[in-house]
Amino acid sequence: MPNYRYQVRTNSGQVQSGVIAADNATTAAAILRNQGAHVLALSAQAGALDGTSLSEKFRELNAGKPSQKHVLDFTTQLAVMVRAGINLRAALDGIGEQTTHVGFKKVVQQLKQDVEGGKQFSEAIAKHPKLFNPLYVNMVRASEMSGSFSKMLDRIAAYIGQQLETRKMVIGAAIYPAIIGGLAVCVTVFLLTFVLPKFASVFAGKEQILPWATKFLLATSKFMVENWYILIGAAAAAFGSLYAFCKTELGSFWVDRLKLGIPIIRSMFRSLYISRSLQTMGQLINAGVPMLDTIAITGDISGNQIFKGLWRKVHASVKQGKKITQPLQQNDILPRAVVQMISAGEESGKLGEVLDEIAIYYAKQLKDNIKAVTGMIEPIMILMMGTVVGFIAMAIILPIFKMSQIVK
């Protein structure tokens, strides 16, 4: 039987804490209430949440970490159940029983325990920042104050669904170039390490008639065959160093800067970050979240260091009592037309509606940009692959033709 650590307030007003054994959190809370105490907090002791067995731990590892798809399904189900009149505790209990993902099931059970312990739902989800971001928490908190919980959950679910769809489109646009690029590298390595060495004996002693391209490729092939282990180690070290650098603040800044600077892809990423930022800001404003909190959350969720810096400037400006558009006009990250529409929304008091409309427009533009980028990258990658393979093929064939002419 698992143990639960509790904190209660007695009838005399004293706060007491201790450990109680019970079949589940609901039973533990009921036992404490029957003793005349008001439950302030109730949580399972480490390793005692559900008596997790070794097989359950293996299932949890194989299932992987909970994702935003699980959060979307959870939010949608919770919105339906709350709208149907089911209280929050019963809704969380029902969702927890139906959840098949072991990791997310534990999260839902923890949420239920926190709610039963007297915490607000926004406080409970704030303990899981990797799944429930600040936007989610603040929108839920605003709904708890306004009494529009189910409607807010629907809005959050729509937002998460849109973000997942956008991410899917961007990843889909990158898959094809990655496959073609990887295939080009594999074909090149195969030709240099398996095909060219077979021709080395044919060209031996005839170096004076070989063109420079053939000499270069033969030397490269010999080096790769003799030092393949060094090359693999150097490539692994280079990729590892690059990956580690990109994880740093400076590396992340330069990667984000490249996304907005490379001609072929900058329009796609610009539409992505504008759509994400303005949709986030619009949702928070419509939910009634304070403006300073809205701007801070927008910067954190924008997904790009350049845009994050822009929203920090906006936050500092608004904190001084200035308008949102003042720092936006001094920066060329957002198009002038967008800044003008934001200014109009700010003047008319309909900023949230204006931001939603702009976000919808740029979401459509993002789809068009993804199609355009995919359409441009496809022939470029094929041309590059054909050029590399053609260069290697000609470097092999030309000497053979030249040797046959000398023999004749």
Checking if the pLDDT of 86 tops 50, the result is yes
- 239: pLDDT confidence band, cut at 50, 70 and 90? very high
Checking if the pLDDT of 62 tops 80, the result is no
- Does residue 101 form part of some domain? no
Identify the pLDDT of residue 132: 92
Q: Are 214 and 360 part of one and the same domain?
A: yes
pLDDT digits (tens, 9 = 90+) for 362-378: 989 988 988 888 888 87
Helix axes 102-116, 54-63, angle to 10 degrees: 110
- Does residue 314 form part of some domain? yes
- Does residue 73 form part of some domain? no
Q: What's the mean pLDDT in 25-30? A: 74
Checking if the pLDDT of 72 tops 90, the result is yes
Q: What's the mean pLDDT in 253-280? A: 90
Between 31 and 297, the more confident residue is 297
- 340: pLDDT confidence band, cut at 50, 70 and 90? very high
Q: What's the mean pLDDT in 38-45? A: 71
Between 20 and 278, the more confident residue is 278
Residue 303's closest CA among 331, 272, 324, 327? Answer: 272
Q: Kind and range of the H or E element at 42? A: strand 38-44
Identify the pLDDT of residue 217: 87
Q: At 35, is the secondary structure helix, strand, or coil?
A: coil
Token pair recorded at residue 278? 């303005």
- Does residue 239 form part of some domain? yes
Q: Can you say whether the dihedral through the CA atoms of 34, 35, 36, 39 is positive or negative?
A: negative
Identify the pLDDT of residue 45: 63
Range of the domain at 362: 181-408
CB neighbourhood size of 81 (10 A): 19
Q: What's the mean pLDDT in 25-54? A: 66
pLDDT digits (tens, 9 = 90+) for 317-332: 999 988 888 888 888 8
pLDDT digits (tens, 9 = 90+) for 179-237: 888 888 888 888 888 888 887 777 777 777 788 888 888 888 889 888 889 999 999 99
Q: Are 185 and 44 part of one and the same domain?
A: no
pLDDT digits (tens, 9 = 90+) for 89-128: 888 988 888 888 888 999 999 998 888 888 899 999 999 9
Q: Can you say whether the dihedral through the CA atoms of 102, 106, 111, 117 is positive or negative?
A: positive
Residue 152's closest CA among 288, 353, 349, 356? Answer: 288
Quote the mean pLDDT of the chain: 84
What CATH number does residue 220 fall under?
A: 1.20.81.30
- Does residue 207 form part of some domain? yes
Strand partners, 21: 3
- Does residue 19 form part of some domain? yes
Q: At 398, is the secondary structure helix, strand, or coil?
A: helix
Checking if the pLDDT of 50 tops 50, the result is no
Q: How many domains does the chain have?
A: 2
- Does residue 131 form part of some domain? no
Identify the pLDDT of residue 49: 46
Q: What's the mean pLDDT in 74-91? A: 89
- Does residue 133 form part of some domain? no
